[in-house]
Amino acid sequence: MRNKNHNKQDGVLPNFCHFGVSLKIILAVEAAAYAQAWAASGGPVNALSLLISQSALLQPALLLTLVTLCVGGRALRSLRYSAGLAVVFCLALTIPSLVALSTNRALGDIPQASLAGILMFSGILALLLLGYFHLRSKALSPAITEARLEALQARIRPHFLFNSLNAVLSLVRSDPRRAERALEDLSDLFRALMSDSRTLAPLEDEIALTRAYLNLEELRLGDRLKVVWYIDKMPADALIPPLIIQPLVENAVYHGIEPHREGGEISLNVYRSQDMVHIVIRNPYAGEGHHHAGNKIALANIRERLSLHFDLDATLKSELLGAVYQVHITLPYTRARTPSSSPRR
Amino acid sequence: MPAPLRVLLVDDEAPARRRLAEVLSDCAATLPVQIVGETDNGLDALSLLQKLPVDALLLDIRMPGMDGIEVAQHLQKLHRPPAVIFTTAYDTYACQAFEVNAVDYLMKPVRAERLRTALGKAHTLSQVALDALRQAHPKARSHLSLTEKGRMVLIPVDEIVYLKAEAKYVTVRTLAREFLIEESLVRLESEFAEKFVRIHRNCLVARNRIAEIGKLPGGQDAHYLRLSGLNEKLAVSRRQYSNLREALGG
């Protein structure tokens, strides 16, 4: 199983549509162009005027390349990683050259924009940037493999597993039907935990998983656990990294409900605002600082996975609002290609 | 036929108590057992123990409020403390402490055979074992306890305004009254460092009750402290005065 996935471990192409990715590319290219102009003209002021005269070529070439990479992103990422890299590299060479040829025809000759120079400039930058994104995805993918192990060992806390099994056993004689449902929930939960958590999955799957988890907790905690769902307006087809809501809700139960005899209320609010999906989870705050290391690990892990998938476009904010602890995630709204293609449910 | 073993079930999760009761009834053929009561929290367990004759306690460790280890600490003060068998779903640290100190414990889900064996050999806890368990699970108690006229009295730590050492005893002051306990002030200070602060060689006060710190007339550098709701001036030693200022954020 591990070997089959091995080629995926090479790395993933960045999503060029994301603001963070495009921003990094634009800044790098502009900085390189300025440096090149400085070297060519011998001073910062002359460099600026040279840069402006080159802009007629540079800006359209850069933007066209980015747009192409964004539009073709899905096709590129479906290729093998090495093939994807090669195609991106070729695009980064050909698009600026084509732009240069066509502007030359339209506007007449542009100084200092020889085709060889453009090819060299684009080639070096493309290599540097692809190298950077490669290293970055390398640095983040072990975190994801680790996340799966951690998910098995720590996220579903052993404490939760054994208490749940104990609760199921207590139902076997008195309420066998309910015991069956509880075991079904438990197997759904573990199936999700053991599956590959690197591909995005529809939001509704994550919500179903969270419900299965909460059903089990309700069995144990009874009236102490109250859950309020605000999900009527959620974009069910939005793609999100799997296992980002359930672990946060588990934290909410562990820190917000279990330490209180009288229990408390957890609220889960999922909605879409313009192009962003918002996920807000709230739980009562005990006021005491113990057991918080586990929470920090879970948050750091989710943050890393959000960053790998969405770069700067996704945010995770946790804060204390009086006696309420809140985690707020925002991520860009992307849809599954074919609706209801999910094989899971 | 021997008299049935009288058992009290303590677990915050109702399914866990139901499961224990079922398994106990499975054991009934070979080990006569009578469940004299059950409860979902430590405080009620302690008050039930004073009303009902109990031979053995099946006691969950992780419970909200007063945890199982604290219940075990307090029930040592009873005239004839019952045997204690801890139950836990998963707990690496405590299990080591159990093994080392020969404390009886059961892992949930509990098997009938294991439960029967444990009940057969269950014994009362030693102070050494209790201290080791507390170390494996460091947590301040929610109550202090003492015996008064043969009855156990529990004082919620949140109600204590100050603790003052005198001779062999420590005076525990709440707004309502005073109690004497046999504990060391140093140990109390380290256990309750989050809630209490030292103002004098012999005195700890509740941080959240401090109403006023002032200078005593006449004495050079002599300070007093007043607690809200209590019309009493407590002496602040010179040495603790600067610590106190620091602890309260200047």
Q: What is the pLDDT of residues B85-136, one digit of tens each?
A: 999 998 777 777 787 777 889 999 999 999 999 998 888 888 888 888 888 8
A20-70 pLDDT, tens per residue? 888 888 888 888 888 888 888 877 778 888 888 777 788 888 888 888 888
Q: Mean per-residue pLDDT for A325-337?
A: 90
**Do B18 and A221 lie within an 8 Å CB cutoff?**
no
Residue with tokens 């313009």: A274
Q: What is the pLDDT of residue A76?
A: 84
pLDDT above 90: residue B55: yes
Confidence of residue A7 (pLDDT cuts 50, 70, 90): very low
pLDDT above 70: residue B83: yes
Determine contact: A294 vs chain B, CB below 8 A. Answer: no
Determine contact: A286 vs chain B, CB below 8 A. Answer: no
Q: Do A111 and A53 form a contact (C-beta atoms < 8 A)?
A: yes
Q: What is the DSSP letter of A298?
A: H
- On chain B, the residues whose CB falls within 8 A of the CB of A161 are 90
Q: What is the CA A339 to chain-centroid distance, rounded?
A: 20
> How far does A219 lie from chain B, in Å, by closest CA?
8
Most confident of A95-109, A326-340, B46-60: B46-60
Burial class of residue B199 in the structure, from the number of CB atoms within 10 Å of its CB (0-12 exposed, 13-18 middle, 19+ buried): buried
**Residues A282, A288, A294, A297: what is their CA dihedral angle, to the nearest 10 degrees?**
70
CA angle centred on A149, ends A248 and B94, rounded to 5°: 80
Q: Which residue has the higher pLDDT, B209 or A118?
A: B209
From A157, A166, A258, residue closest to B19, measured CB to CB = A166
Q: Which of residues 138-197 of B touch A (CB under 8 A)?
A: 139
Q: Which residue has the higher pLDDT, B162 or A70?
A: B162
- On chain A, the residues whose CB falls within 8 A of the CB of B139 are 290
- On chain B, the residues whose CB falls within 8 A of the CB of A221 are 13
Residue with tokens 């280890």: B69
Cα nearest neighbour of B23 on chain A: A170
Q: Which residue has the higher pLDDT, A308 or A274?
A: A274
Q: What is the pLDDT of residue A8?
A: 45
From B41, B65, B108, residue closest to A163, measured CB to CB = B108
Smallest CA-to-CA distance from A92 within A143, A138, A133 is with: A133
Q: What is the pLDDT of residue A151?
A: 53
Q: What is the pLDDT of residue A4?
A: 37
Cα nearest neighbour of B14 on chain A: A220
pLDDT above 80: residue B167: yes
pLDDT above 90: residue A330: yes
pLDDT above 80: residue A204: yes
Q: How far apart are CA B11 and CA B64, in angstroms?
A: 10
Q: A185: which residues sit within 8 A by CB, 6+ positions away?
A: A212, A213, A215, A216
**Do A290 and B41 lie within an 8 Å CB cutoff?**
no
pLDDT above 70: residue A209: yes
With a pLDDT cut of 70, the percent of chain A lying above it is: 83
Q: Do A225 and A214 form a contact (C-beta atoms < 8 A)?
A: yes
pLDDT above 50: residue A316: yes
**Do B139 and A290 lie within an 8 Å CB cutoff?**
yes
> How far does B168 lie from chain A, in Å, by closest CA?
33
> How far does A10 lie from chain B, in Å, by closest CA?
37
Q: What is the pLDDT of residue A331?
A: 95
From A162, A222, A259, residue closest to B14, measured CB to CB = A222
Q: What is the pLDDT of residue A193?
A: 79
Confidence of residue A147 (pLDDT cuts 50, 70, 90): low
Q: How far apart are CA A58 and CA A121, in angstroms?
A: 11
Q: Mean per-residue pLDDT for B215-219?
A: 78
Q: Which residue has the higher pLDDT, A275 or B222?
A: A275
Helices (H), chain A: 19-41, 44-71, 73-78, 81-107, 115-150, 158-172, 176-194, 203-221, 245-252, 292-310
pLDDT above 70: residue B81: yes
Is ipTM strictly over 0.90?
no
Q: What sign has the CA pseudo-torsion A32, A36, A42, A47? A: negative
pLDDT above 70: residue A146: no
- Would you say how long chain B is, in residues? 250
Helices (H), chain B: 14-27, 42-51, 68-75, 92-100, 112-121, 127-136, 185-191, 238-247
Determine contact: A191 vs chain B, CB below 8 A. Answer: no
pLDDT above 70: residue A1: no
Q: How far apart are CA B72 and CA A297, in angstroms?
A: 33
pLDDT above 60: residue B144: yes
With a pLDDT cut of 90, the percent of chain B lying above it is: 63
> How far does B163 lie from chain A, in Å, by closest CA?
22
**Do B89 and A171 lie within an 8 Å CB cutoff?**
no
Q: What is the pLDDT of residue A344?
A: 47
Q: How far apart are CA A153 and CA A215, in angstroms?
A: 21
ω into residue A235 within 30 of 0, thus cis? no
Q: Mean per-residue pLDDT for B161-172?
A: 93
Q: What is the pLDDT of residue B84?
A: 94
With a pLDDT cut of 70, the percent of chain B lying above it is: 98
Tokens of B69: 């280890």
CA atoms within 13 A on the CB side of A274: 1
Residue A54: how many other CB atoms lie within 10 Å:
19
> How far does A320 lie from chain B, in Å, by closest CA?
20
Confidence of residue A116 (pLDDT cuts 50, 70, 90): confident
Residue with tokens 């609706």: A339
pLDDT above 90: residue B185: yes
Q: Which residue has the higher pLDDT, A175 or B92?
A: A175
pLDDT above 80: residue A159: yes
